[in-house]
Chain A
Amino acid sequence: MLRISEHPILTFKHGQQVAFRYDGQELVGYEGETIAAALHAAGVKVLRKSTVLHRPRGFFCAIGTCSSCLMKVNGEPNVRVCVEKLKAGMVIETQQGKGDLREDV
Chain B
Amino acid sequence: MFDVCIIGGGPAGLKAAIAAGSQGLSVVLMDDADHLGGQLVKQTHMFFGSEQQRAGARGVNIAKELVEQVTSLVNVEVVLCTTALGLYDDLVLTYETEGSYRKLSAKKFIVATGASERMLTFPGNDLPGVYGAGAVQTLMNVYGVKPGNRVLMVGAGNIGLIVSYQLLQAGVEVIAIVEGGPSIGGYLVHASKVRRAGVPILTSHTIKEAVGVNCVEGAIVCELDSQWQPKSGTEQRIDADVICLAVGLSPLTDILWQAECEMVFVPELGGNVAYRDSNMCTSKPHIYVAGDVAGVEEASSAMVEGELAGLCAAKSLGVSGAHLTLQITSARSQLEELRSGPVGDKIRAGLLQAHR
Show the binding face of A for B, using Cβ within 8 Å: 2-4, 6-10, 12, 14, 33-34, 36-37, 40-41, 45-47, 50, 55-66, 68, 82-83, 85
Contacts and interface: CB of A to CB of B under 8 A. Distances in A.
Contacts of B318: none
Contacts of A58: 127-131, 215
A61 B132 contact: yes
Contact of B252 (A45, A50, A65): A65
Interface in B135-188: 135-136, 138-141, 143-148, 169-171
Given A4-B171, A61-B117, 5 more contacts: A2-B146, A37-B145, A46-B215, A62-B131, A65-B252
A62 B128 contact: no
Given A8-B169, A45-B215, A57-B126, A62 B145 contact: no
A104 B322 CA distance: 56
A55 to B, nearest CB: 6
B145 A40 contact: yes
A95 B251 CA distance: 30
Contact of A60 (B132, B169, B215): B132
A78 to B, nearest CB: 13
Contacts of B121: none
Contact of A4 (B39, B134, B136, B144): B144
B128 A33 contact: no
Contact of B145 (A4, A55, A61, A64): A4
Contacts of A83: 33
A63 B144 contact: no
B44 interface: yes
Nearest to B100: A105
B292 interface: no
B214 interface: yes
